[in-house]
Amino acid sequence: MQQRKLGPFSVSAIGLGCMNICHAYGPPVSDAQTERLLLSALDAGVTHFDTAALYGFGASETLVGRFLSKHRSRFTLASKCGMQGVDVAGDGKLVRVIDGRAETIRATCEAALKRLKTDVIDLYYLHRWDKTMPVEDSVGALSDLVRAGKIQAIGLSEVSATTLRKAHAVHPITAVQTEYSLWTRNPEIAVLQACRELGAAFVAFSPVARGFLCGELDVSAFDAKDIRRSMPRFTPENHAANTRLLPGYLAMAREVGCTPAQLAIAWLLHRGDHILPIPGTRSVEHLMDNLGAANVVLSADVMARLDAHIQQKTVSGNRYNAQANSEVDTETF
């Protein structure tokens, strides 16, 4: 597996996002399936595993800790705080809450360390900037965790270039993690360049456009709790419009001699050497397909045609609904 820099760490060019195993796209998979997936990734050369307190309200961190902690020296571990499940009503039901206060960040980190069965988290992100306070305050709390030896490096998720620069002035930011793919180009407005200037890596989640760039999707078959049901691009009207982009895209994959998912991930790898895709999956078959993108070489002509075919002007619908858009700080076209 090719290697790329993630701050002070050298990691596999393609990492593994660990949300899907318990969160967002339907019921959690079995523990046996999760163990097989995580260990298969490790054996295939993946050394960058990304999770969060939010995913399954701690379930993802627990599973990563259960199945990978004995191999802790073999990989770089990333997790996130600042957005987690909280029993707001006192009825035992957890709801998602964005909270960037220092005391919450400290408590979330301590709980994460226990779930992950580790003494230190290599890269700890602020999952969302809590807009009720300056980002500098939350980053200051994270820098306290660095000094305490609880975490090694700080990251931010879904922030603008302006917010990144404010945070970086408090403590060096190792990475920014934001959705980035052929059909989500927001990072190209400013954050990609800001990361390059500051020496931060850019970690791209949802590199295959939440499954859209893997081929035909049956949106009517989505699980009742599938988060894509609330995403405008997957409404019947927008999805029908976006599906018209697929024949040309699939033809380019055939021309290159790779799978559709590999084409999407390879496009990201070719966009810059500071970009690290972290596709998520529940399937070992899909995992191995995704990792094959590291060996795909795209010509300048193919890159140009991909750029022209799928981008913000050709895709129908926003990536998030109004509520989710209000929670992020990314620039928009």
Indicate whether 224 belongs to any domain: no
Closest CA to 327 of 150, 126, 189: 126
Report if residue 198 sits inside a domain: yes
Model confidence pLDDT, tens digit, residues 114-150:
999 999 999 999 999 999 999 999 999 999 999 999 9
Residue 296 tokens read as 């795909």
**In percent, how much of the chain has pLDDT > 70?**
100
Query: How many angstroms separate the Cα of 31 from the Cα of each of 34, 59, 112?
Result: 5, 11, 19
What is the rounded CA–CA span in Å between residue 35 and residue 60? 12
333 found inside a domain: no
Are 78 and 122 in contact by the 8 Å Cβ rule? The answer is yes
Q: How far apart are CA 16 and CA 293, in angstroms?
A: 13
Is there a domain that residue 325 lies in? no
255 lies in a domain? Answer: no
Q: What is the pLDDT of residues 41-76, one digit of tens each?
A: 999 999 999 999 999 999 999 999 999 999 999 999
Percent of the chain with pLDDT over 90: 94
Nearest to 321 by CA among 233, 246, 254: 233
Pairing of strands 48-50, 151-157: unpaired
Cβ–Cβ contacts within 10 Å for residue 153, how many? 24
Q: What is the pTM of this model?
A: 0.97
Residue 97: what are its φ and ψ, rounded to 5°?
-135, 135
Nearest to 180 by CA among 153, 155, 152, 201: 201
Domain containing 160 equals: 3-212+262-296
Residue with tokens 């850019």, as numbered in its chain: 202
Under the banding of pLDDT at 50, 70 and 90, the label for residue 106 is: very high
The answer to whether residue 322 is domain-embedded is no
Per the CB < 8 A criterion, the answer to whether 162 and 110 are in contact is no
58-72, 82-96, 230-244: the lowest-pLDDT one: 82-96
Give the residues across from 77 on adjacent strands. Answer: 49
Q: Which two tokens stand for residue 249?
A: 């895209």
Q: Is residue 227 part of a domain?
A: no
Tell me the residue type at 329: D
- Going by pLDDT thresholds of 50, 70 and 90, the confidence category of residue 188 is very high
pLDDT by residue (tens digit) across 291-309?
999 999 999 999 999 999 9
Instruction: State in Å, rounded, how far the first CA of the chain is from the last one.
Output: 35
- The backbone torsions φ and ψ at residue 54, rounded to the nearest 5 degrees and listed phi first, read -70, -35
Q: Is 11 helix (H, G, I), strand (E, B) or coil?
A: strand
Q: Residue 14's domain is classified under what CATH number?
A: 3.20.20.100
- Domains held by the chain: number: 1
Which H or E run contains 223?
none
pLDDT score at 158: 98
Given 55, 124, 180, 249, the catalytic residue? 55
> What's the mean per-residue pLDDT of the chain?
97
Phi, psi for residue 226 in degrees, rounded to 5: -65, 125
Whether residue 23 is predicted with pLDDT greater than 90 in this model: the reply is no
CB atoms within 10 A of CB 331: 15
User: What are the C-alpha distances in Å from 290 to residues 1, 102, 206, 238, 303?
Assistant: 12, 37, 12, 26, 18
* Catalytic residue status for 125: no
Reduce the DSSP state of residue 76 to 3 states and report it: strand
Rounded Cα gap, residues 68 and 117, in angstroms: 9
Q: Which pLDDT does position 181 carry in this prediction?
A: 98
Is 330 part of a structural domain of the chain?
no
